[in-house]
Amino acid sequence: ETGVTQTPRHLVMGMTNKKSLKCEQHLGHNAMYWYKQSAKKPLELMFVYNFKEQTENNSVPSRFSPECPNSSHLFLHLHTLQPEDSALYLCASSQGLAGGRETQYFGPGTRLLVL
């Protein structure tokens, strides 16, 4: 596998379910990101991890819980979501966080539908 992979690609869940999204990068990068892409809105940065440490939480509700066990893997744990949380969730990685210099590479996304 190359690049950034995400599983599952599609997910349907009820508001009382608990599910997890998985992201894996095969680029040897140290920084990983979660973004939310909703219809007719720009991509919204959710979380940033650098060397497994969370460096940014962009005021994300606690029903979204990230986990980064190592520099290659990033999870997003979901529980008691709302229908407005339905969106495409994109994972990205970059070599580091050196200001604006680092290019981010994206995974294919997980399309989430909350019923």
Partner 1 sequence: AQTVTQSQPEMSVQEAETVTLSCTYDTSENNYYLFWYKQPPSRQMILVIRQEAYKQQNATENRFSVNFQKAAKSFSLKISDSQLGDTAMYFCAFQAQKLVFGQGTRLTINP
* Residue matched to tokens 């529980």: 79
Q: Is 43 among the residues that bind partner 1 (CB under 8 A)? A: yes
Using CB under 8 A as the binding rule, whether residue 42 contacts partner 1 is answered as yes
Per rule CB under 8 A, is residue 72 in the interface with partner 1?
no
Number of residues that bind partner 1 (CB under 8 A): 20
CB of 8 to partner 1, least distance (A): 13
Whether 52 and 71 have beta carbons less than 8 Å apart is answered as yes
SS (H, E, C) 4-60: EEEECCEEEECCCCEEEEEEEECCCCCEEEEEEECCCCCCEEEEEEECCEEEEECCC
Shortest Cβ distance from residue 45 to partner 1 (Å)?
6
Judged by the rule CB under 8 A, the positions of this chain that interact with partner 1 are: 40-43, 45, 56, 88, 90, 92, 99-101, 103-109, 111
